[in-house]
Amino acid sequence: MTNNYEVPKGYDEVQEGVRYSEIQVIEYLSKTTGTTRKANLLLPLDYTPEKKYPVLYLLHGIGGDHNEWLGGDPATVMGNLWAKGEAKDMIVVIPNVRARANDEGNPADIFTIPHFEAFNNFINDLTNDLKPYIEANYSVAEGRKNTAIAGLSMGGRTSLYIGFTLPETYGYIGAFCPAPGVLSYSNIANAEDGLFTRENFTLPKELETLVMIVEGATDDVVKIWPSTYHQALVDNDVEHIYYVTEGGHDFTVWKHGLYNFAKRIF
C-alpha cells in the first residue's frame, strides 16, 4: 500500500453500474446501560453465513448518535471501494457511543465531563454487550487482525482510547479529527487529566497495529489535537499514519479518513 492518501473523484458518489449494500438497524440489550440500544449495520454485498468477515466499528462524534455517520454515506464509500476490489469484505457496525441510559444525540449536557464519561464508558458497552452480540448473530472472523475501530471527532478520541487500552483486541485504530482528552488539557469550559499520559500513550512493540490519524487543514474545532497526538506517538516511537487533508471539522475530512482507513485494514 502506497503513502498516497488522495481520493479519486466520485469516491463518495453513487456510480452507475455499482451495487450498494443497504444500512440495517439492529437492537441489542446492554447490561452496561441497562437499556436496549440501537446500532446501524452495513453488511458486505452477497453476505453469507458460509463465510467469516472482519468487523469495523465506526464511531460518531460528541453531538451525534448511531445515525450521525449516515451523513457521510458510508454505504456509498464502502460500496465504491468494494466494487473496485480496493477494500476487503467486512461488516461495518455504526453504534451509539454515548453509553448511558439517556443516549439520544445532541443532549443538553453536551460539553460536560459526565457526558464525556458516557463516551469513555462505551469501552464497557462495546466489550461486554455490542461486540458479543455481533459475534453471536453474524458470521464474524474473530481476533485482533480481524477487528478494527475508528471514529470521527469524539469518536476518534474514543477509538484511540479503546484501541490503545485493548491492543490485544483491536489490530487497526483510526481517528479522524480526534477530539481533546486522550491527553490532559485545560480550557475555559473543562479540564481532564487525560485518558493516557504522554508516556503511556503507546502500544506493545510485539503487536503489529495500524494506527491512522487524519487532520483537517482548516479544522477550528479540535485544532491542534490531531497533530499533538501524532507528535506524542512519534516521541513514543509508535509506528502510525498521519496526514492532513483539505477541509475542516466535517465529512469532507471524515469520509476521506474512512476511505483511506478502509483500504488499509484487514
List, in order, residues 6 or more apart from 170 with CB less than 8 Å away: 144, 147, 148, 149, 162, 163, 209
Q: What is the pLDDT of residue 122?
A: 98
Going by pLDDT thresholds of 50, 70 and 90, the confidence category of residue 3 is: confident
Identify which has the larger pLDDT, 50 or 3: 50
The Cα–Cα gap between 178 and 175 comes to: 5
Domain boundaries, the chain: 24-264
Q: What is the pTM of this model?
A: 0.98
- Mean pLDDT, residues 65-87 taken together: 98
Average pLDDT score, the chain: 97
SS3 content of the chain, % helix, strand, coil (to 5): 30, 20, 50
Q: Residue 257: name the closest of 170, 148, 146, 131 by CA.
A: 148
The Cα–Cα gap between 183 and 96 comes to: 23
Burial label, 91 (beta-carbon count in 10 A; 0-12, 13-18, 19+): buried
Q: Write the pLDDT tens digit of every residue in 136-146.
A: 999 999 999 99
The Cα–Cα gap between 233 and 228 comes to: 9
1 has pLDDT over 70: no
Angle at 95 between CA 59 and CA 159, to 5 degrees: 30
Q: What is the pLDDT of residue 99?
A: 98
Q: Write the pLDDT tens digit of every residue in 192-231.
A: 999 999 999 999 999 999 999 999 999 999 999 999 999 9
Q: Write the pLDDT tens digit of every residue in 20-47.
A: 999 999 999 999 999 999 999 999 999 9
Q: How many residues does the chain have?
A: 266
Q: Which CATH architecture has domain 24-264?
A: 3-Layer(aba) Sandwich (3.40)
75 has pLDDT over 70: yes
The Cα–Cα gap between 247 and 25 comes to: 30
98 has pLDDT over 90: yes
55 has pLDDT over 70: yes
Q: What is the pLDDT of residue 58?
A: 99
Report the share of the chain in percent with pLDDT over 90: 98
- Mean pLDDT, residues 106-129 taken together: 97
Neighbours of 156 (CB within 10 A): 30
How far CA 115 is from CA of 10, 12, 61, 82, 121, in Å, comes to 37, 32, 12, 36, 10
How far CA 124 is from CA of 50, 83, 111, 117, 186, in Å, comes to 30, 35, 21, 12, 26
Report the share of the chain in percent with pLDDT over 70: 99
187 has pLDDT over 90: no
104 has pLDDT over 70: yes
Q: Write the pLDDT tens digit of every residue in 5-19.
A: 999 999 999 999 999
Neighbours of 198 (CB within 10 A): 15
Q: Write the pLDDT tens digit of every residue in 221-241.
A: 999 999 999 999 999 999 999
Q: Which amino acid is at 73?
A: D
Angle at 119 between CA 118 and CA 120, to 5 degrees: 90
Q: Write the pLDDT tens digit of every residue in 245-266.
A: 999 999 999 999 999 999 999 9
Q: What are the grid coordinates assigned to 205, written together?
A: 512493540
Pairing between β-strand 55-59 and β-strand 91-95 as defined by DSSP bridges: parallel
